[in-house]
């Protein structure tokens, strides 16, 4: 049973509509999404002061994540978050070398704001961040078709700056190979291909391979082409670090050796395994008084309304929202995981009872792009709809 949302409804005049270009005129990275009935024709209007609220929340939260990570390392508490002892040196290496092997991008999910409810981060998609094609291509195209301003969306140019810095840092007398890899799910492939497109513009030789087709050894990461083996300089992965550590320990040990011996760069860095872990949110709640991050608990709280979610859950799976009228829940593949509990932060809702969740992309420590996903009910799953926004003047 869905909880009744008492926050202010989104005004009808926020919603605009743009023409949908023909499929043949859209980038290839969007074709799969068009077939999934996922990209909304409508555009949500957001005011400048609301964008500024999202930006401040995200950048403040990022700083809290950095400071809390320093505290975890200072107090030698990595084991508390399920990171095995044999990976602690890799964690320290990735954290201490952020200048050379940077955090590329991640997305904070933020509830509230548009409904006049104080906005709060509910999680950080820091390791395997999605919605890249929608944000980089679809939002830009829809805003151009609308002909009325643009969204808060500097993701493409921000990523290009970081990728250029990585390219220059390699300082090779050959064209460095930038490999994108995933487990082969269509959505993941298109997210990786979007990053490969940007990497190619910065001078890399971009290549995609499903994970089983990549060769990992103590000497590095390689691509097989006939009798030849091409070394990889940078691996952009869209398979989770927690999956590697817990389900594929042989691969984890090889990646540990490859990274520590600087045979290849792997992005996002290993420390994002901690940031992806929702148990880290409960640690932050214990250690700080941040008003920008939803209060999170390691044990069930004495609250009438709260959320329970698996520590490494993704796409809204196996989430439960408890309230006085019952509960709302989702199914998924993460029911076996430990869970945390979180204060309930109401999301904006329209007059047709669709809720809207904001995502704010981070590149390094800067908030660079805003997007929205919408669904009926409190839990945003992969059955949601993607919503472009445009910044309105007031």
**For residues 256-281, average pLDDT:** 98
In angstroms, how far is CA 32 from the centroid of its own chain? 20
On the 0-12 / 13-18 / 19+ scale of CB atoms within 10 A, 392 is middle
The H or E element that residue 358 is part of is strand 354-363
Judge whether residue 22 has pLDDT over 90: no
165 within a domain of the structure (yes/no): yes
186 within a domain of the structure (yes/no): yes
Which residue range forms the structural domain that includes residue 337?
12-392
Secondary structure (H, E, C), 158-179:
HHHHHHHHHHHHHCCCCCCEEE
19 within a domain of the structure (yes/no): yes
7 within a domain of the structure (yes/no): no
226: CB partners within 8 A, 6+ apart: none
Q: How far apart are CA 121 and CA 294, in angstroms?
A: 6
66 within a domain of the structure (yes/no): yes
| Amino acid 75: pLDDT | 97
**For residues 131-141, average pLDDT:** 96
Q: How far apart are CA 152 and CA 47, in angstroms?
A: 10
249 within a domain of the structure (yes/no): yes
For residue range 294-348, list pLDDT tens digits in order: 999 999 999 999 999 999 999 899 999 998 878 898 999 999 999 999 999 999 9
1 within a domain of the structure (yes/no): no
For residue range 343-363, list pLDDT tens digits in order: 999 999 999 999 999 999 999
CB atoms near residue 27 (< 10 Å)? 15
Domains contained in the chain, number: 1
Q: How far apart are CA 248 and CA 333, in angstroms?
A: 17
Percentage of the chain beyond pLDDT 70 is 98
For residue range 205-215, list pLDDT tens digits in order: 999 999 999 99
The mean predicted confidence, pLDDT, of the chain is: 94
Confidence of residue 8 (pLDDT cuts 50, 70, 90): confident
6 within a domain of the structure (yes/no): no
What angle do the packed helices 186-201 and 155-170 form, to 10 degrees?
60
Judge whether residue 283 has pLDDT over 80: yes
Judge whether residue 227 has pLDDT over 90: no
Judge whether residue 48 has pLDDT over 90: yes
Q: Torsion angle of alpha carbons 307, 308, 309, 311, nearest 10°? A: 120
* DSSP letters spanning 267-298: ES-TTHHHHH-THHHHHHHHH---SSB--EES
Write out the two tokens for 79. 């084991």
Alpha helices by DSSP H, listed for 221-368, are 241-247, 249-260, 272-276, 279-287
Q: Strand pairing of 177-182 and 234-237?
A: parallel
**For residues 359-370, average pLDDT:** 97
């Amino acid at each position: 049973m869905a909880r009744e949302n008492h926050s202010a409804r989104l005004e009808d005049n926020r919603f605009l509509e743009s023409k949908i270009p023909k499929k043949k005129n859209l980038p290839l990275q969007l074709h799969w999404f068009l077939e999934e009935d996922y990209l909304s024709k409508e555009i949500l209007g957001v005011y400048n002061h609301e964008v500024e609220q999202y930006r401040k929340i995200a950048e403040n939260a990022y700083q809290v994540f950095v400071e809390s990570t320093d505290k975890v390392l200072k107090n030698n508490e990595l084991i508390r978050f399920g990171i095995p002892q044999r990976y602690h040196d890799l964690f320290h290496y990735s954290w201490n070398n952020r200048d050379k092997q940077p955090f590329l991008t991640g997305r904070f999910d933020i509830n509230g704001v548009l409904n006049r409810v104080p906005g709060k981060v509910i999680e950080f998609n820091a390791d395997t961040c999605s919605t890249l094609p929608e944000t980089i291509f679809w939002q830009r195209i829809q805003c151009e078709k609308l002909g009325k301003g643009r969204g808060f969306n500097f993701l493409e140019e921000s990523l290009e700056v970081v990728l250029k810095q990585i390219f220059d840092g390699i300082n090779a007398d050959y064209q460095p190979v930038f490999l994108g890899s995933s487990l082969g799910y269509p959505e993941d492939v298109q997210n990786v291909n979007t990053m490969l497109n940007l990497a190619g513009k910065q001078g890399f030789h971009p290549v995609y391979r499903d994970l089983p087709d990549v060769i990992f050894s103590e000497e590095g990461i390689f691509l097989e082409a006939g009798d030849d083996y091409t070394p990889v300089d940078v691996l952009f992965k869209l398979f989770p670090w927690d999956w590697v550590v817990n389900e594929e320990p042989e691969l984890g040990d090889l990646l540990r050796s490859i990274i520590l011996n600087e045979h290849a760069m792997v992005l996002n860095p290993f420390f994002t395994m901690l940031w992806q872990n929702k148990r880290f949110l409960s640690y932050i709640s214990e250690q700080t008084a941040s008003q920008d991050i939803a209060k999170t608990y390691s044990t069930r709280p004495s609250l009438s309304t709260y959320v329970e979610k698996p520590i490494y859950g993704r796409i809204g799976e196996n989430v439960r929202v408890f309230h006085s009228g019952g509960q709302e829940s989702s199914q998924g593949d993460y029911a076996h995981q430990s869970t945390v509990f979180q204060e309930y932060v109401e999301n904006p809702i329209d007059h047709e009872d669709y809720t809207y969740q904001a995502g704010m992309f981070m590149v390094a420590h800067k908030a660079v792009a805003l997007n929205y996903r919408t669904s009926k009910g409190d839990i945003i799953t992969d059955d949601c709809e993607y919503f472009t926004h445009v910044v309105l003047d007031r």
